[in-house]
Amino acid sequence: MSESPSTRERILDAALNIFANKGYHDTRMDEIVAASETSKGAIYFHFPNKERLFLALVDQFADLIERRVREAVMHEAEGIARVRAALQACLDTFGRYRRPAKILLVQAVGLGSVFEKKRIEVNDRFANLIKEYLDEAIRVDDIAPVDTEVVSYAWMGAIYGIVIRWVYTGEPDSDRILSALLPMLLKSVGYEEISA
């Protein structure tokens, strides 16, 4: 017997669908109440306003990406293999969930300082994840010592820029992104892959 989704999960699922169809600004909380088959009281119990609901979706998506990345690197040897697996998992997750990615990355841009603070928080979270794997690569002598904090933020900028374009337009496809972006990023830390 499977468990039914919690009220909070139903609200988040309904909100994601409505934000996807109508956009953030045109979505009304009443529509989310109806679509989630809950009450206004239930929604406001979990989320005091539409902005907090949207930010919870951002957190949920960031959690998903981090979980997928950590699962992907779990069976890889420390070093560049983990860096490669992490980037692949990140792109695969964006590809599989392009619709929520587009909502959360593209629509959220105009939401002001509260969202900007959340975007910086998520950016920091993933830069720290990149830094962790780069530090491992240094520790196992896959790459020479570099300032992994600066490099991780530079990588985030490159990844974010191409992913935004990809979720918005579908171009370039994920295989092209990975085959061009990964060698460039690795080269930036002095690691060159040997072609077969």
Phi and psi at residue 73, to the nearest 5°: -90, -10
Domain-embedded: residue 194: no
Alpha carbon distances (Å) from 161 to 85, 152, 186? 20, 14, 17
Domain-embedded: residue 193 = no
Total domain count for the chain?
2
pLDDT at res. 23: 82
Mean pLDDT of 47-59: 91
What is the 8-class DSSP label of residue 3?
P
Q: What is the pTM of this model?
A: 0.83
pLDDT per residue as tens digits for the range 132-144: 999 999 999 999 9
Q: Are residues 161 and 84 in the same domain?
A: yes
Whole-number pLDDT of residue 110: 67
CATH label of the domain that carries residue 135: 1.10.357.10
Tally Cβ neighbours within 10 Å of residue 124: 13
pLDDT tens column, 61-113: 899 999 999 999 999 999 999 988 998 888 888 878 887 787 777 777 667 78
Q: Say if residue 28 is in the same domain as residue 8.
A: yes
Name the packing angle between helices 113-139 and 50-73 (round to 10°). Answer: 10
